[in-house]
Structure 1
């Protein structure tokens, strides 16, 4: 069995992807950029360092990229954070992982203060051994940095861990770090896009992964 399961959180453990997409769309509009909800949503799972270059030129990033990202963060916290809810069976899934003898980590492109709130919303703060956020790494997903830091904190090799995420960016980042990834569909990405990103198995959500635990990559090599 693997020694650790490393979970993404947005769209994997909590239902927040559409809310993040709305906050980004409104932030771009405030700074004069026409970005649709669908375009913004397709990039959720990346941190701002990877998302902004998709929509802004180098000159635009230099001029107002930091201000735009800061406005988005404040806007999300004030308007959308109260709407975030946990997916079902999340604490049960993490308990099952721990009962199997594995450690639990959460590796997110969110900022640390947001991540702490998310862990409370999901009801799993006491079930997580290690967390990493965007502040622990130079680059966010799909770069491998955040997963690499999680592995370092866990003190294990990539071959002894499995990642769980809802976006192809999770799978790409985990793959670059040397891990297999389990995909979940609850973040809104298609099974095809998750498998194309590198997921070795795909489940509808945390509850389905829990129900199929013994046959999943969490229970076998």
Structure 2
């Protein structure tokens, strides 16, 4: 049985992938880049350091990459943060994992100031023992840095943890840290996409994972 469950937030525990994608789409348009909502949505799960280079040339990144990132962050917090809601059974799932003896951690590409607000929205702040944000690492998902840091905080090896995420970037990052990943479909990526990225189990969302807990990697 694993020693820890390491959860992603956006699209895994909280329903705001579309909101993030809209804010990135608006930022791209504002700074003169013809990038559609569908294009930005396909990249959600990465941190800004990985998302921006997908759409901006090196020259554009030097010219206004940081300004675009900052505008997007402020736009999201001002307009879309109040709309975020947790998926069903999120606190129940984390309590179940904790009662099973697992340490609970969050490994998110969000910025640190955003992360604290997300934990409150999800109603899980008191259930989480360790957190890692994009501010703690040089490179965000799909690089493994976020998982490496959270594993160090938990004082365990990757093979003693299970990650839970909604995007292929979660699975790739976790795999590089030797962590097995449970995928959830509530973030909008397909089961085939998640399995190809390395997910060993896939469930519709937190509620199903909670209901099937004893049959999952978390409960075995």
Distance (Å, rounded) in 2 between the aligned partners of 1:151 and 1:77 = 29
Q: Report the equivalent of 1:210.
A: 210
Q: Which residue of 2 aligns with 1:195?
A: 195
Q: How many residues align?
A: 220
Q: Partner of 1:117 in structure 2?
A: 117
**Structure 2 match to 1:35:** 35
Residues 93-148 of structure 1 show CA distances to partners (whole Å, capped at 9, x for unaligned) of 00000000010000000001101000000000000000000001110000000011
- The within-5 A match list for 1:15-94 is 15-94=15-94
List per-residue Cα deviations over 1:155-213 (Å, max 9, x = no partner): 00111000000000000000000010000000011111000110000000000001111
State how far apart, in whole Å, the 2-side matches of 1:138 and 1:178 are.
19
Correspondence list, 1:139-154, <5 A: 139-154=139-154
3-state DSSP of counterpart to 1:10:
coil
Deviation at 1:91, TM superposition (A): 0.2
Alignment partners' CA distance in 1, 2:100 and 2:206: 16
Q: CA deviation at 1:219?
A: 1.6
1:158 — aligned with what? 158
Q: Distance in 2 between matches of 1:172 and 1:30?
A: 31
Q: Does 1:106 align with 2:106?
A: yes
Please list every run of 5 or more consecutive structure 2 residues that lacks an aligned counterpart in the other structure: none
Scaled by the length of structure 1, what TM-score is found?
Answer: 0.99
Give CA deviations for 1:55-109 in whole Å, capped at 9, x if unaligned. Answer: 0000000000000000000000000000000101000000000000010000000
Q: CA deviation at 1:11?
A: 0.4
Q: Distance in 2 between matches of 1:36 and 1:28?
A: 9
SS at match of 1:45: coil
3-state DSSP class of the match of 1:192?
helix
Kindly report structure 1 stretches of 4+ aligned residues shifted beyond 2 Å: none
Instruction: Report the secondary structure of 1:118's partner residue.
Output: helix
SS class of match (1:163) = strand
Alignment correspondent of 1:177: 177
Unmatched segments (≥5 aa) in structure 1: none
After TM superposition, the score normalised by the length of structure 2 is 0.99
Whole-angstrom distance in 1 between the partners of 2:123 and 2:75: 24
CA-based RMSD of the aligned residues comes to: 0.4
